């Protein structure tokens, strides 16, 4: 069975895109390696995107298919 989970992709200006690695503290630690990014549910990912909306970066949800 496959489910859809989400990564939060953050783009800051001219730098390359990074992914949110952990959400247990602020500011959120990020990583450039997609495999190390935090895979989360839609509601949690939307909360992270909302909290990043006030900063100077563009954030988006990246859906991925995972097997359980």
What digits encode the pLDDT tens for the residues 15-61?
788 999 999 887 889 999 999 999 999 999 999 999 888 778 889 99
CB within 8 Å of 36: residues ≥ 6 apart: 19, 21
Q: What is the pTM of this model?
A: 0.84
Domain boundaries, the chain: 2-67
What digits encode the pLDDT tens for the residues 42-53?
999 999 999 888
CA angle at 15 for the pair 11 and 16, rounded to the nearest 5°: 65
Residues 14, 47, 6, 21: what is their CA dihedral angle, to the nearest 10 degrees?
60
CA angle at 36 for the pair 26 and 33, rounded to the nearest 5°: 100
Q: Which stretches does DSSP call E strand in 1-68?
A: 2-11, 18-20, 30-31, 58-67
């Amino acid at each position: 069975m496959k489910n859809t989970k989400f990564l939060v992709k953050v783009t800051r200006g001219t730098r390359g895109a990074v992914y949110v690695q952990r959400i247990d503290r602020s500011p959120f630690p990020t990583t450039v390696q997609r495999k190390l990014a935090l895979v989360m549910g839609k509601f949690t990912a939307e909360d992270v995107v909302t909290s990043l909306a006030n900063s100077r970066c563009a954030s988006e949800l990246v859906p991925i298919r995972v097997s359980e």
